[in-house]
Amino acid sequence: MIDVIVLDFGSQYTQLVARRLREAGVYTEIYPYHTPTETLLAKNPKGIILSGGPASVYAKDAYRCDPALFNANLPLLGICYGMQLLVDTFGGAVVAAKAQEFGKAHLELLEPHPLLEGVEDLSVVWMSHADRVESLPSEFIALARSANAPFCAIAHATKPLFGLQFHPEVVHSAQGAQILKNFALEICGCRPSWDMQAFATQEIAKIQQKVGTDRILCAVSGGVDSSVVASLCYKAVGAQTEVVFVDHGLLRLGEKEQVIQMFETLNIPLHVIDASSLFLDRLKGVSAPEVKRKIIGNTFIEVFEQKAKELEQGGKIKYLAQGTLYPDVIESVSVKGPSKVIKSHHNVGGLPEKMDFVLLEPLRELFKDEVRALGAQLGLPANMLKRHPFPGPGLAIRILGAIDDDSLEIVRRADAIFIQALHDAKLYDSVWQAFCVLLNVRSVGVMGDNRTYDNTLALRAVCASDGMSAHFAPLPFDFLESVANQIINKVKGINRVVYDITSKPPGTIEWE
């Protein structure tokens, strides 16, 4: 049984709503905003949440759910666009704001209410909207306001209908998780029953049911995500799973050897393919990041299809399993609703339209820390689970512009210095992800009384909980100075090192 259904109106944060509820033990699923009410009610949910979204409710092409939903007598919570849709539906006024509001605001409580139980007055909340509620429908009351939003939290006087102008699902809303928990547990009457053990059992059963007697080719990179998928598939259907690692020539220093050792530890047979020449030939002279990602995605599929043909003596391989996570999906394509595409991930938007495989993506709606928790549940070793994320396109998207052997060598050596320094200083586990980016920007320097005209390298380290938002890691200056000195002295071709202090948003974690 589903406890809460989230209707997706295209917000980048929709899955965070489900995630926060899962953290509270509440089983939640996401559906497109246009799903018929009859279909939703057939799933016996205890509550409905309307997500935020990029549209305006007063526009002709505004996204609208089935109006019957508002009369279903189910608790319903509208967030941002969802609240504006609620107001518009019941006769209130929503207009374009004179000034867009993005960032932190303070919640001033006006009325006590179960939705805001345990929330402190002037608690910090996160705003992200260009429209505002001008006036409430007559049946609604204001529960809270902020300096720029007079109707920051609202409730219907007699029906279980509620709205929030801010985003309680993001970590910047200090007590947002408490508000969502209040809605699910106190208002909807849900009881905590969902955890990673339940998810593991559920996904293994799903894989067994879907795959049957067919075979799986599981693509692994050695990272947490694909390793967890390999473990799930192997637990579900055993030797029907062929685990394949492709060296595309864009790996970090010593990466291939680490991956081989890792799967030996897991006792999972591993096929290793060296396709570095193929990938690098196709990427020669290519500068545009989206083109890089699509070339890499297409080439991976070609290599996997060729390997599958070689393995067909054991029966045709029908499925391609890969470690796609929700942040990959939401940035690449619209999944449940009309979300905006940020960039193509090689394993989502970078895949060819036609391929011989059926995709199997059991982690598609999870975040990195949830995957780590799942991996621990499956028995994966801690040193594997704590590895920083490494993108499938590898160093191709950490070299701005065209890729060549010299650039790859520079990034590999610099990255190894940076990561080892983090380990030595016991800082590695305190950051979400750390890496180097070769900017291909040259500048004048002085080394040994001689003029140099060499490249600039950026260090990037961020703190995050789920990858949907991130803040640059405040690494000590003396540490950064030491790393910069080591790189300049040991890596030929670099004479300047900078540190990226951009958060997400407005930037992304990777540069390309």
Catalytic positions, please?
A: 80, 167, 169
- Angstrom distance (rounded) from CA 380 to CA 422: 23
Map residue 375 onto helix, strand or coil: helix
Least Cα distance to 113 among 173, 154, 71, 159 occurs for 154
Tell me if 259 is assigned to a ligand binding site.
no
Strands 140-145 and 93-109: antiparallel
Tell me if 226 is assigned to a ligand binding site.
yes
- Angstrom distance (rounded) from CA 26 to CA 8: 18
Residue 318 tokens, joined: 């029908």
Least Cα distance to 101 among 125, 135, 77 occurs for 125
- Angstrom distance (rounded) from CA 159 to CA 79: 17
- Angstrom distance (rounded) from CA 124 to CA 198: 33
Crossing angle of helices 477-490/405-424, nearest 10°? 140
Map residue 443 onto helix, strand or coil: strand
Tell me if 503 is assigned to a ligand binding site.
no
Residue length of the chain: 512
Tell me if 52 is assigned to a ligand binding site.
no
Strands 450-463 and 433-447: antiparallel
- Angstrom distance (rounded) from CA 32 to CA 21: 18
Distances (CA, A) of 36 to 66, 67, 304, 460: 6, 9, 39, 45
The number of helices, as runs of H, and strands, as runs of E, in the chain is: 14, 18
The 8-class DSSP code of residue 471 comes to: E
- Angstrom distance (rounded) from CA 331 to CA 498: 27
Amino acid at 176: G
Q: Which residues, including other chains, have CB under 8 Å from residue 296's CB and lie 6 or more apart?
A: 248, 250, 279, 283, 346, 350, 392, 393, 396
If phi > 0 it is left, if psi is from -120 to 50 it is alpha, else beta; for residue 459 that is: beta
- Angstrom distance (rounded) from CA 261 to CA 485: 32
The 8-class DSSP code of residue 120 comes to: P
Dihedral over Cα of 269, 274, 275, 276: its sign: positive
Residue 254 tokens, joined: 């010593």
The per-residue DSSP string of 281-292 comes to: HHHTT---HHHH
Tell me if 221 is assigned to a ligand binding site.
yes
Tell me if 225 is assigned to a ligand binding site.
yes
Tell me if 224 is assigned to a ligand binding site.
yes
Residue 52 tokens, joined: 């935020």
Map residue 89 onto helix, strand or coil: helix
Torsion of CA 417, 419, 421, 427, to 10 degrees: 170
Least Cα distance to 294 among 364, 348, 217, 226 occurs for 348
**Residues of each annotated binding site for ATP:** 221-227
